[in-house]
Amino acid sequence: MKSKDSVKGSANLAQNSAKAPKNGRGSKMPASKADKGVQGSKKSITKTEKGVQGSKKSITKTEKGEKKTKEPFAKSLKGSKEAKKTVVRSEKKVTRSDNTSVTSSKSRCPVSKKCGGCQFIDMPYRNQLKVKHERLEELLSKYCTVGEFIGMDDPDHYRCKVHAVFTHDRKGNPLSGIYQEGSHKVVPVESCLLEDKKADEIIATIRGMLRSFKIKTYDEDYGQGLLRHVLIRVGKNSGQIMVILVLTSPILPSKNNFVKALLKAHPEITTIVLNVNDKHTSMILGDKEKVLYGKGYITDTVCGMEFKISPKSFYQVNPVQTEKMYSKAIELADLDGSEEALDCYSGVGTIGIIASPHVKHVTSVEINGDAVRDAIWNAKNNDIDNVTFYKNDATRFMQQMADSGDKADVVFMDPPRSGATEEFLNSLFVLGPSKVVYISCGPDSLARDLGIFVKNGYIVTDCVPVDMFCHTRSIETIVLLKKKL
């Protein structure tokens, strides 16, 4: 199938596309090597470490897109048995509560009640997994047995993407922090138990530099001021750090001296990018960017592959769990090197590129142009030539494939929290893959979609929850579906 939405890659990748098999979709992107299977792989997939065996509970996810409004969490767990007997700890006694969150008289986080971002911060980690596991069982037990959780050895400071809103108090003193739950009121935060420690230190340094450089923070009510946000992205394995300054203007006063001072305080910073957002919008990042220092991006490794992380690229925020999750997904797919694979909602191509040494060919589709450009770079950088990338809406692309009579042996899908559309699923059933690896960040939408799969001749053989967002209600789940013979 030829598509106007296929994305051209580099010259040498485009040349390889001439060798593509039928399912290369006529792309001018990298083509498959027909004989490239498991033996041809130069990359190893790390075996998944098993987490703590849960009992019966769960919740939902965060983190897709770049809206500055607070990331939504799953619905309340009020309906679950565990929610009605949540332990609330105080210094002198233990009581029962109908609330789903667990707090103590001395919370681990001084702003937890205002922030609302880490509802389980004061619940023992093993109990968090039990609560989440039970929620999953309530939703999915009619379709499968929920496996044990893949948890973390150290569930603190796991976020490699850190966002700080900048504002000021009544005296004009600069403040940085997060939005209070359900509002645009900024809660000052010095450090966060979820966030990378070094990122928090850099944000504090920037806040301390503002007065000496006469940089005013943004006033959302009046639309005045220069500095709106600071975004830090950290490569946990590479050690690289990107600082993104979101300003209302492309002009940063004393730019060179500011960059020099920041690098002197934090020589570990790899690159600094100025992003311009001059609109009255809920989006964090604007359309224009200017590199102030370094390459304008960082890289990090997952499952032996190196990936480019740009300011706007979607990239999982918990690198430790990402490695486990993708390794488990490839393990469940049980690939033999002969498959035509389809990677939907592919982001920067992570799953497809990791799977590529183990299949004949991967067709990857993603709607975000920045992510697709990074995916092309990632494939070339990892010497992968059997992945074809398309910039397209996943539903529309699947419909085009179904209309063209294309087929896929295995489908990897990682849809947004709302799950897959009905049109997407109907087209998938026309393609008729023997296996589907569904990575979900929304248990409710997953339960809905599994019901549709089952009605259309699929069975759930494996369900593995992953704790990507520790101390929160959010859950990631890997499900393997197989087509009935």
Asked whether residue 224 is marked as a ligand-binding residue, the answer is no
Would you state the pLDDT for residue 315? Answer: 86
Q: How confident is the model at residue 9 (pLDDT cuts 50, 70, 90)?
A: very low
| β-bridge pairing 241-247 and 271-276 | parallel
Quick one: 149 and 202 in the same domain? no
Quick one: 9 and 141 in the same domain? yes
Region 178-192: mean pLDDT is 88
Q: Which of 88-97, 109-118, 245-254, 455-464 is least confident?
A: 88-97
Region 205-216: mean pLDDT is 96
Active site residues per annotation: 441
Q: Would you list the DSSP string of 117-142?
A: S-TTTTS-HHHHHHHHHHHHHHHHTT
pTM as predicted: 0.78
d(CA 485, CA 23): 23
Which residues fall within 8 angstroms of residue 154, CB to CB, at 6 or more apart? none
Would you state the pLDDT for residue 16? Answer: 35
Asked whether residue 414 is marked as a ligand-binding residue, the answer is yes
3-state secondary structure of 271: strand
Residue with tokens 């490695």: 323
What tens digit of pLDDT does each residue of 438-450 get?
999 999 999 999 9
Would you state the pLDDT for residue 35? Answer: 36
**How many residues are given for the chain?**
485
Helix (H) / strand (E) element for 465: namely strand 458-466
How many CB atoms neighbour CB 119 within 10 A? Answer: 26
Region 8-26: mean pLDDT is 35
Extract the tokens encoding 385: 């030539």
Is 29's pLDDT higher than 50? no
Where residue 235 sits, what CATH number does that domain have?
A: 2.40.50.1070
Pair 108, 122: CB distance under 8 Å: yes
Pair 275, 311: CB distance under 8 Å: yes
Asked whether residue 366 is marked as a ligand-binding residue, the answer is yes
Quick one: 334 and 281 in the same domain? no
d(CA 285, CA 165): 12
Extract the tokens encoding 190: 């010095």
Look at residue 387 and tell me if it is in a domain.
yes
Extract the tokens encoding 83: 């929610």
What tens digit of pLDDT does each residue of 147-173 get?
999 999 999 999 999 999 999 998 999
Residue type, 256: N
SS (H, E, C) 51-93: CCCCCCCCCCCCCCCCECCCCCCCCCCCCCCHHHHEEEECCCC
Quick one: 214 and 289 in the same domain? yes
Asked whether residue 316 is marked as a ligand-binding residue, the answer is yes
Quick one: 174 and 133 in the same domain? no
pLDDT: which is higher, 3 or 404: 404
What tens digit of pLDDT does each residue of 249-279 get?
999 999 999 999 999 999 999 999 999 999 9
Would you state the pLDDT for residue 442? Answer: 96
What tens digit of pLDDT does each residue of 306-342 get?
999 999 988 899 999 999 999 999 999 999 999 999 9
CA distances from 199 to 119, 268, 330 (A): 22, 11, 31
Quick one: 378 and 253 in the same domain? no
Pair 189, 159: CB distance under 8 Å: no
Look at residue 279 and tell me if it is in a domain.
yes
Look at residue 28 and tell me if it is in a domain.
yes
Quick one: 134 and 206 in the same domain? no
Look at residue 395 and tell me if it is in a domain.
yes
Pair 377, 308: CB distance under 8 Å: yes
Look at residue 307 and tell me if it is in a domain.
no
Question: SS3 breakdown of the chain: % helix, strand, coil, rounded to 5?
Answer: 25, 25, 50
Look at residue 102 and tell me if it is in a domain.
no
Is 67's pLDDT higher than 60? no
**Final residue before a domain boundary, out of 255, 270, 302:** 302
d(CA 413, CA 221): 41
Extract the tokens encoding 342: 């389809």
Region 474-482: mean pLDDT is 98
How many CB atoms neighbour CB 65 within 10 A? Answer: 12
Question: What is the number of structural domains in the chain?
Answer: 2
Residue type, 214: K
Look at residue 353 and tell me if it is in a domain.
yes
Is 14's pLDDT higher than 50? no
Q: How confident is the model at residue 105 (pLDDT cuts 50, 70, 90)?
A: low
Quick one: 247 and 331 in the same domain? no
Enclosing domain of residue 240: 161-302
Quick one: 457 and 367 in the same domain? yes
Quick one: 293 and 168 in the same domain? yes
Where residue 343 sits, what CATH number does that domain have?
A: 3.40.50.150
Q: Would you list the DSSP string of 318-347?
A: -HHHHHHHHHHHHHHHT--S--EEEEES-T
Would you state the pLDDT for residue 281? Answer: 83
**Final residue before a domain boundary, out of 275, 302, 329:** 302
Look at residue 167 and tell me if it is in a domain.
yes
Would you state the pLDDT for residue 142? Answer: 96
Burial class (CB in 10 A: 0-12, 13-18, 19+), 78: exposed
Pair 466, 322: CB distance under 8 Å: no
What tens digit of pLDDT does each residue of 212-245 get?
999 999 998 888 999 999 999 999 999 999 999 9
Quick one: 172 and 151 in the same domain? no
